[in-house]
Structures are given as structure tokens and as C-alpha cells.
């Protein structure tokens, strides 16, 4: 399982627009082959900062999404709203306080 974290800082006046947009496409992302779940998080101290927190069965699945027309369409619209370059990390869980 791969966890993908993407930090996105938006122009302040575009933050609500992004939230509205992402609410219309989150199911499209989570339905993509190999995606287990997608959450969108918002910073509690800076409402212009969002994080996508997605879970993928494999790195190949994540890369297939990142190379898809779906991603290109979403990213083309989203990147116009950025105030800073997004940051991304692909991670794997190594320790958890939860068992089972």
C-alpha cells in the first residue's frame, strides 16, 4: 500500500473554489483503478493550504493515475489556482499504533 501526500497552497481567493471543485471530482479519483481511498484535508491555521491524502495498492497504480487523462484534466484546472509549487511524497507505513 502506498500513501500519497500532496501539499497544495492556493491563492487565498481561490481556496473556496478549489474546495468546491474537489468535492465534485473526489469520487472520480477514488474510483480510479488501484485507488483505495482519497481524503482532502485543510490546514486549520491557514485555510489556503490543502492536502490530498490518497491510498494506492501499488506505486504502479499511482503512476497509472498520474499518467492518466483524468489526472491531466484535474491538474490543469487545479494548478491555475496555486500560490506556491505543490509538494508531494509517496510513503509506506512502517509502524502503526493500531493492530489488525
pLDDT of residue 99: 65
Note the pLDDT tens digit of each residue in 8-53. 999 999 999 999 999 999 999 999 999 999 999 999 999 999 999 9
pLDDT of residue 98: 77
Note the pLDDT tens digit of each residue in 70-88. 999 999 999 999 999 999 9
Separation CA 98–CA 100 (nearest Å): 7
- Edge-first strand order for the sheet with 35-42 is 35-42, 49-56, 2-9, 87-91
Residue 100 has pLDDT above 60, yes or no: no
Separation CA 58–CA 3 (nearest Å): 9
Domains, the chain, with CATH or none: 2-91 (3.30.70.100)
Amino acid at each position: 500500500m502506498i500513501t500519497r501526500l500532496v501539499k497544495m497552497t492556493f491563492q487565498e481567493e481561490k481556496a473556496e473554489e478549489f474546495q468546491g471543485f474537489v468535492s465534485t471530482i473526489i469520487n472520480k479519483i477514488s474510483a480510479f483503478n488501484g485507488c483505495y481511498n482519497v481524503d482532502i484535508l485543510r490546514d486549520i491555521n491557514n485555510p489556503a493550504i490543502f492536502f490530498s491524502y490518497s491510498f494506492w495498492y501499488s506505486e504502479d497504480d499511482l503512476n497509472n493515475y498520474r499518467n492518466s487523462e483524468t489526472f491531466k484534466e484535474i491538474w490543469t484546472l487545479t494548478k491555475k489556482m496555486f500560490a506556491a509549487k505543490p509538494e508531494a511524497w509517496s510513503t509506506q507505513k512502517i509502524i502503526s499504533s493500531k493492530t489488525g
